[in-house]
Structure 1
């Protein structure tokens, strides 16, 4: 049994089928136990995040072992203290060498720091939830996250989208145009959800994203807006074999989907051609623009919630606020006067921009 990082041969690995003794097994053995029991329930991208954390911790153990001679690689699980946890996260911010766009620097970003912290806390909660570790023995319980920018993917304005659409038409990037319109109308993710969309996922009035590809591993439907239905019918997508992928190298449904970076490279060239050079603009921006336009058109948070597949309206409310919506809207200003007379003040005028891609 192995973990995604190279663990030294002298570390005895445990079997996930046996009870895990935190007072006898090492912390690195705990990662193996966790991996075998937990990884099947999370996405591959999240698995990579955990593996990155485990690798960083392993590297830190090796450095510590060279410095003080202590057998850190076989450190007993329950012996990993708050002091050790602080030292590890200090190492991440102040010593660890990282590469970003081929440039080496010292210290992980605040976002990576926060991700590692979340992964580590979840790792400890895994053992606590199974009564393998006392609740008061989580060394990360009082750790705080670093400040980060709340929104990395900037929404496109409708004017920007008009320029992008025209450039795609001029360069005959028809499949790319269809792809980003699916992002805009479905609020889905480009990498796993829309890129791997299959004919069988296109239902009569909805698109189904199966749990194997959906965020949070929960399969669910989104509605097909009228403009998207026109696109589907014009391309006769439902006429192809059910197992065919919508987006392929041939530009029509087929048995093999395009690669993970196929559209992103084309899209970046389109953006540069229309003068959009900032790195925060990417294909996730269409989802945000779609949300903004749907909310402005309907003022219906429930509709936005359903299309986003959010479990709660509070989640949708938070998301819309991050997009700059709901900030100046206070329904109480429209409270009728005593006696039923109309207020002299008028309701805020909603934005009247036409929805992008409207034909």
Structure 2
């Protein structure tokens, strides 16, 4: 059963023609609704029309204040607030308002509000969904109304044991939970609400079978691209954009527009709205520029998406999974390993740059990584520690 936290303010004409705005709010100390009458401003009105106009404006003011978190009761520990962890179809009348102490759900809502602008929509959705699971788990275990200082290391460990043992999540997902929750508690520390971050020394599950996209071997690459180029030129072009530009296949590739390609100055711009991190300008290799000219992509409307319906640029982008599903179909028809994914084209290009002797800094800049450490981790993960002297000059045993 839903718990009433406040009634909607309404205008009342009282006895002796005394006007006021009436509403009630939940008194957190008694658990009962407390009636509130607001007489402010009515005595200054000289006629009924003025009183009515003032009353309407006062009702609107008080309604918005209640939605924003104001309470007329002198209780600093109780608030009505917008709950970012609730689903969008709940509490419509009060814009997802919720009555509670300033507990985890309150501060997570505040934290999500603070991250909404800086995070990309997809990343924000990830933060929101994982933090929603966390607060719902707290409620289920009767920790939901605990003061935030009581959410300690023991409770955090209990939550992660639930994720690992009951939900059977893999290591990468657990690490994402660790990152998000640690960031949330760092937010509380900066606000002066905590002195220590309880997210530490988290037990992590064993690595499940690695199904991440892998670079494609040269022989398999030739076989795959030969078939794709003949049967689906648009998919072939998408593969080449990934390979040559290290462009991510989701937002960056799917939402690329004709105007973002400067074929004569050999550059492609990934704009802020689609970039995983920030806007970046990517060097466009000569071979890819020639391919763009061959397919005459630069001649289409500059506002068209490069990868649209009917195999040509158009006003609507392809669906989120269209290119990936097409790629997988070719891969499976050729009986190639399932670890070859559409994303593998980006990894394969990185491997070729490494073999060509580019420096770590050059690869970092081309891939749009924020640091050398990120690039080093990426290359080690996909290609190991490559040493051409060992490959070509290892002495024979005898």
Deviation sequence 1:264-301 (CA, Å, 0-9, x none): 111111001111142x2211111111011122123433
- Following superposition, the deviation at residue 237 of structure 1 comes to 2.0
Residue aligning to 2:64:
none
Alignment of 1:115-264 (within 5 A): 115-129=176-190, 131-136=191-196, 138-143=197-202, 145-146=204-205, 148=207, 152-170=212-230, 172-203=231-262, 204-216=265-277, 218-264=278-324
SS in 1 for 2:281: strand
Structure 1 unmatched ranges of 5 or more: 15-22, 66-71, 97-106, 334-345, 350-359
Alpha-carbon distance between aligned partners in 1 of 2:205 and 2:388, rounded to the nearest angstrom? 30
Is contact 2:115–2:124 with CA below 8 Å preserved after alignment? no
- Establish whether residue 319 from structure 1 lines up as the match of residue 378 from structure 2: yes
- Establish whether residue 89 from structure 1 lines up as the match of residue 160 from structure 2: yes
Alpha-carbon distance between aligned partners in 2 of 1:286 and 1:213, rounded to the nearest angstrom? 19
- Length-normalised TM-score, structure 2: 0.70
Alpha-carbon distance between aligned partners in 2 of 1:3 and 1:154, rounded to the nearest angstrom? 37
Is contact 1:111–1:146 with CA below 8 Å preserved after alignment? no
- Length-normalised TM-score, structure 1: 0.77
Question: Greater share of strand residues, 1 or 2?
Answer: 2
Question: Compared with structure 1, are the counterparts of its residues 206 and 256 closer, same or farther at alpha carbon in structure 2 (3 Å cutoff)?
Answer: same
Question: Compared with structure 1, are the counterparts of its residues 85 and 118 closer, same or farther at alpha carbon in structure 2 (3 Å cutoff)?
Answer: same
Alpha-carbon distance between aligned partners in 2 of 1:83 and 1:12, rounded to the nearest angstrom? 30
Deviation sequence 1:131-177 (CA, Å, 0-9, x none): 333332x111343544547882111112111111122134x211001
SS in 1 for 2:303: coil
Alpha-carbon distance between aligned partners in 2 of 1:271 and 1:250, rounded to the nearest angstrom? 22
Alpha-carbon distance between aligned partners in 2 of 1:211 and 1:145, rounded to the nearest angstrom? 34
Is contact 2:170–2:205 with CA below 8 Å preserved after alignment? no
Alpha-carbon distance between aligned partners in 2 of 1:147 and 1:221, rounded to the nearest angstrom? 39
Structure 2 unmatched ranges of 5 or more: 1-81
Question: Compared with structure 1, are the counterparts of its residues 173 and 4 closer, same or farther at alpha carbon in structure 2 (3 Å cutoff)?
Answer: farther
What is the aligned length? 306
SS in 1 for 2:273: coil
Is contact 2:250–2:320 with CA below 8 Å preserved after alignment? yes
Q: What RMSD over aligned residues (CA atoms) do the two structures have, in Å?
A: 2.8
- Establish whether residue 49 from structure 1 lines up as the match of residue 110 from structure 2: no
Residue aligning to 1:283:
342
Question: Compared with structure 1, are the counterparts of its residues 307 and 47 closer, same or farther at alpha carbon in structure 2 (3 Å cutoff)?
Answer: same
Deviation sequence 1:294-320 (CA, Å, 0-9, x none): 221234333322211123333322222
